[in-house]
A and B are shown apart, each in its own frame.
Chain A
Amino acid sequence: MTREKPESNRDQPWLMRTYSGHSSAKASNDLYRTNLAKGQTGLSVAFDLPTQTGYDADHPLAHGEVGKVGVPVGHIGDMETLFDQIPLGKMNTSMTINATAAWLLSLYIAAAERQGVKQSQLQGTTQNDIIKEYLSRGTYIFPPEPSLRLTTDVISYTVNQIPKWNPTNICSYHLQEAGATPEQELAYALSTAIAVLDAIRDSGQISGDAFSNVVGRTSFFVNAGIRFIEECCKMRAFVELWDQLTHERYGVEDAKMRRFRYGVQVNSLGLTEPQPENNVQRIVLEMLGVTLSKRARARAIQLPAWNEALGLPRPWDQQWALRMQQVLAIETDLLEYGDILDGSPIIAAKVEQLIRGAEAEMERVREEGGMIQAIETGYVKRQLVTSHTERMRAIEAGRLKIIGINSFTETAESPLTTGSDSGIMKVDPAAEREQIERLRTFRATRNTSEVEQALLHLKDIAQSGENIMPASIRCAHAGVTTGEWSGVLRNIFGEYRAPTGIDISTSKMAGSDSVANLRERTRKTGEMLGRPLKILVGKPGLDGHSNGAEQIAVKARDVGFEVVYEGIRLTPEQIVKAAEEEGVHLIGLSVLSGSHLELVKDVRNRLEKVGLAEVPVIVGGIVPPEDETNLKAQGIAAVYTPKNSDMNLIMADLVDIIREANGLERYHALH
């Protein structure tokens, strides 16, 4: 028997999305239309890494990455295919796009215009938050200053032309994925908002009274971890702090314009490879954190799937994740009540505590000279790496318990992963070749003089400081490609490498007893081989997942290795040059974007050419079991994936691999 409340008394559910895109515009369009048929109410586009970092599919750096983790969109033709039979005048589309946000939005506007839809009717979101790219997400291109200009151009343009567009989604989501505490998430997201809003105010593109619209259109993209009560309080703290900040700093009088509007993707960092079915519980509980409190409820939610730590989700996995949302919104009575946390002194005290912590950290950022400065000096990145390292040490020492990782590790075999596809989606390796063919055909059929004119105009505008959008929309219609648009700006703005943040002090962090033993092993082995053990941690390709590489680098330093790490997005050529010049005992490659087979092969071939074939190479990251077998058959000394969560064991292994490669016996097992 069920007791029902009439529909009219229930709150509207949030927007339900699935972050997706793969292989090609055509394949992704099929997927979107199926998802919409299943009751999904908005679209959330995942672009592939070349598109996010401004390279055409046939650029050498795009090799192995085309269509892997998202959809490749190289020009207006791809954008039209992506939304074929999806009426853009009615759709609400979220695009996770940052360095190239102005460009992808221009393509979206142009595609809509070709559907006969006026840009003023469009609804949706461009993530367009470059600051967290430097800190966590890694798809930045230009230095902070010109990047911020592009961000503010998109905001100014849409506030004036596309009133229902959310031009920027300031992200704390990615900060938690890089280890941030709730206080850090609050402080850095709000400090980012200050940097962006100040820049817009100072750009002069917005007339005085329209500024409150800018504030009103500013939305957030937030994370929700497993400590869901604290997360719920974090959301309430966000609401309060934002209201206060927009009122006091920007003088926004209209309370509606001061509302904290946010979307969510729940925490994925804590989702495990062992016993992956447990991730379902985690995801559901995390969703509570951002829905329980009506005053601080998410406007849009997208959920990861149970197989998050294994690889890309298949359509069925995404359907399961969507159904979790639907059950909560439709079957439960959650949406029938007002705010159920109002009046709780416990909640109020926790919110207060988070606010105080956040304010103190915001003050630190101010002292650094603001968020941009604090990025450039590496301050914020170091804070994040420190928090993540503390988290890893707590897991290592058993202070932070994770089921299946450091407690209750015994399990029956999961039937979810025994299928012929190992339970994940595989992208057809032909996708890259086909995309390149389509791109070449497209290039051959466009009007070259129009393209050249449009690019010249873009160059002038970029140099002049005028808003970049109109010139970019013109480029979109003319048939300019993603690589060409970015190339013009690369030449003018230059490229950037962000601080790695690994130069932190770990002396106060409690680790486990194994560390002393490990230091002894590293030191002794170094003595036997004549010099301290030196390793290179390399991140080849466009992959921006830096956590693993950073944590391995910090850990390796802590157990006595000399560690060379040059940050993300290196070419195999750059990595091999470093390995050669540095005379390392071991090379560790970290790849989480799925392009490990192509990249590892490239690195090995180049090592051979410079006479370093005998230096052991190991690979870490997201590597499916059959690829692991394949890599080992090629001579890769070891493969580590998220299930190898005990970094002490990894370190002991690295010492042993070096010993074996140099004719010494392995040590006995560490513990």
Chain B
Amino acid sequence: MLTSSRFPDPDSLAAAVVDKDRPALARALNLLDDKRPEARRRAARLLRLLPQGRLYQSGHLIGLTGPPGAGKSSLTAALITVWRRRGLRVAVLAVDPSSPISGGALLGDRLRMLSGQVDSQVFIRSLACRGEFGGLSAEVWPMSLVMLAAFDIVLVETVGVGQKEIDVSKLTDTTVFVAQPASGDSIQFLKAGIMEVPHLLVVNKADLGSTARKTLAELRATLKPAGNDNDWQVPALSASAARGTGIDELADGIEAHRAWLLQREQLGSRRRRFQAEWLLKRLDEEFGRFGVEALGGFPTLLAELSGSEDSPFELYDQLQQRFLSNWQGGLGGSRFGAKDVGDGE
């Protein structure tokens, strides 16, 4: 019904993205969001064509999480100002919740990130979480990779409370948790071990005074000192997005974590591992547990995917093919055949 001419050509798209072409990046993101089989094929090719060096060795992928209203979007805006001053180009992926009833969503984070001067070196895409568990939509990973191919910094903002934080720390180099003053929730979650410990904690709204200071002290008390030199010492910082204070320090802290990762050569391996996990999750969604077993099982696949020097997306394609040919005809009712993948109910 729709001609393939409506789908962009992944080869030229990849080249243009690497050339930092804004419209191309926008079209690439649309393609990665597109669930139609033809789009999926082209998306996989697009990802495969992106320079592996950029994807696994350079840039900085940052996750900003925390309860709604803590000031994540405002802090993002403040960080953008600092990064721009430092000459860095910034892309943001802002994830907002979807309505469970209608499937619709209001994507309002941009509002806080508006600046009077339009800056072409900043690119913001909003994304609805589309009911996916973990509060992160499946598109976040590939989208942040494409952004990483064109920008120095990619920041993912997600709503998160309690367990939902886990997802973003499984995607990014550095996870920052933004705490709301006078809300004990984050402290409870940390203490109970429900919440994965982030790489940085920041109490925003320092301008509120004593409540913010109190929350900061409580958070600091829950942090364990690093056991040895190899452990990252999680700092707890204080900032005010409204006043613009503490933002440089926050940017420095975030950068220090990247330096720490690089020094230990963990940046690339981390990204490859997350990549592999994400691909496995995809395979699991498409073919189910049984399918994954048939392809060799989780541990084997994980090792295969994260150890590969090729583009993991290439491997992913091969795995898909392998599965489909194995079960040609035998699995008429597979989810993959019956319905497009990733279909939120």
B106 is an interface residue with CB less than 8 A from chain A: yes
**CA–CA, A566 to B110, complex, Å?**
6
A567's nearest neighbour on chain B, judged by CB, is: B111
Segment of B125-133, B214-222, B305-313 engaged in the interface with chain A: B125-133
**CA–CA, A556 to B102, complex, Å?**
10
Contact B26 A581 (CB under 8 A): yes
Contact A497 B114 (CB under 8 A): yes
Q: Fill in one digit per residue for B85-126: 1 if any A CB lies within 8 Å of its CB, else 0.
A: 000000000000011011111111011101010101001111
Contact B105 A530 (CB under 8 A): no
Contacts of A578 in B (CB 8 A): 110, 124
Contact A560 B30 (CB under 8 A): no
Contact B26 A560 (CB under 8 A): no
B225 is an interface residue with CB less than 8 A from chain A: no
Contact A574 B108 (CB under 8 A): no
B315 to chain A, nearest CB (A): 24
Contact B104 A562 (CB under 8 A): yes
Contacts of B111 in A (CB 8 A): 497, 500, 565-567
Q: Fill in one digit per residue for B124-145: 1 if any A CB lies within 8 Å of its CB, else 0.
A: 1110101000000000000000
B35 is an interface residue with CB less than 8 A from chain A: yes
Contact B125 A581 (CB under 8 A): yes
Contact B104 A561 (CB under 8 A): yes
B27 is an interface residue with CB less than 8 A from chain A: yes
A146 to chain B, nearest CB (A): 13
Contact A519 B103 (CB under 8 A): yes
Contact A564 B107 (CB under 8 A): yes
B34 is an interface residue with CB less than 8 A from chain A: yes
Q: How large is the interface on A (under 10, 10 to 19, 20 to 34, 35 or more residues)?
A: 35 or more
A500 to chain B, nearest CB (A): 7
Contact A557 B102 (CB under 8 A): yes
B180 to chain A, nearest CB (A): 11
B9 is an interface residue with CB less than 8 A from chain A: no
Contact B107 A580 (CB under 8 A): no
Contact B106 A531 (CB under 8 A): no
Contact A531 B34 (CB under 8 A): yes
Contact A564 B104 (CB under 8 A): no
B292 to chain A, nearest CB (A): 26
Q: Fill in one digit per residue for A389-432: 1 if any B CB lies within 8 Å of its CB, else 0.
A: 00000000000000000000000000000000000000000000
B336 to chain A, nearest CB (A): 16
Contact B106 A502 (CB under 8 A): yes
B226 is an interface residue with CB less than 8 A from chain A: no
Contacts of B39 in A (CB 8 A): 530
Q: Fill in one digit per residue for B16-44: 1 if any A CB lies within 8 Å of its CB, else 0.
A: 00000011001101100111100100000
Of residues 553 through 596 on chain A, the ones whose CB sits less than 8 Å from some CB of chain B are: 553-554, 556-567, 570-571, 573-574, 577-578, 580-583
Contacts of B340 in A (CB 8 A): 527
Contact B118 A573 (CB under 8 A): yes
Contact B102 A574 (CB under 8 A): no
Contacts of B130 in A (CB 8 A): 532
**CA–CA, A502 to B111, complex, Å?**
12
Contacts of A571 in B (CB 8 A): 118
User: Which residue of B29, B34, B107 contacts A562 across the interface (Cβ within 8 Å)?
Assistant: B107
A380 to chain B, nearest CB (A): 15
A75 to chain B, nearest CB (A): 24
Q: List 21 A-B contacts (CB under 8 A).
A: A497-B112, A553-B106, A554-B106, A560-B102, A562-B98, A562-B104, A564-B107, A565-B106, A565-B107, A567-B111, A571-B118, A573-B118, A574-B114, A581-B22, A582-B26, A582-B107, A582-B125, A582-B126, A583-B125, A610-B22, A663-B1
Q: Considering the complex of A and B, which 7 residue pairs feature the smallest CB-CB distances, nearest first?
A: A530-B34, A557-B104, A583-B30, A530-B36, A531-B33, A560-B104, A560-B103
Q: Which residues of A contact B (CB under 8 A)?
A: 377, 495, 497, 500, 502-503, 507, 519, 522-523, 527-532, 553-554, 556-567, 570-571, 573-574, 577-578, 580-583, 610-612, 662-664
Q: Which residues of B contact A (CB under 8 A)?
A: 1-2, 6, 22-23, 26-27, 29-30, 33-36, 39, 69, 98-99, 101-108, 110-112, 114, 116, 118, 120, 123-126, 128, 130, 340, 343
